[in-house]
C-alpha cells in the first residue's frame, strides 16, 4: 500500500450521470444515473477494498459530505 488513505469521490459527469472515481484514476470505478445510486456503489466498492473515505460532491463540484466506510466482510481475505 502506498501509505495514502483509501478513498473514492462521487462526482457529477458531463453527461449528467454520477461517477465513483478513485483520486488519480484514469476512469470511473462505477457510473450511475443518480447520485444516490453512485453513493451506494461507492460505499460497496470501499467496503470491499478495506474501507476508507467517500467524498460526495454536489452539482457545483464542491464536497458536500464525507463518510467513513468500514471494511466489509470479505469471504476471501488476503493471506499474510
Residue 1 has pLDDT above 50, yes or no: no
Q: Please tell me the number of Cα atoms within 13 Å of 28 on its side-chain side.
A: 16
Query: Which residue did the predictor score with more confidence, 79 or 26?
Result: 26
The helix (H) or strand (E) run that includes residue 10 is strand 7-12
Residue 38 has pLDDT above 60, yes or no: yes
Domain residue extents for the chain: 7-69
pLDDT digits (tens, 9 = 90+) for 48-68: 999 999 999 999 999 999 999
Cell (9 digits) for 45: 466498492
pTM here?
Answer: 0.83
DSSP characters over 21-59? E-TT-SS-SEEESSHHHHHHHHHHHHHHTT-EEEEEE-T
pLDDT digits (tens, 9 = 90+) for 4-36: 579 999 999 999 999 999 999 999 999 999 999
CA–CA distance, 19 with 7 (Å, rounded to integer): 14
Amino acid at each position: 500500500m502506498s501509505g495514502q488513505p483509501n478513498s473514492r469521490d462521487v462526482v457529477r459527469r458531463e453527461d449528467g450521470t454520477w461517477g465513483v472515481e478513485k483520486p488519480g484514476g484514469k476512469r470511473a470505478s462505477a457510473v450511475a444515473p443518480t447520485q444516490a445510486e453512485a453513493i451506494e456503489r461507492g460505499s460497496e466498492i470501499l467496503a470491499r477494498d478495506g474501507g476508507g473515505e467517500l467524498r460526495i460532491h454536489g452539482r457545483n463540484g464542491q464536497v458536500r459530505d464525507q463518510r467513513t466506510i468500514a471494511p466489509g466482510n470479505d469471504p476471501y481475505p488476503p493471506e499474510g
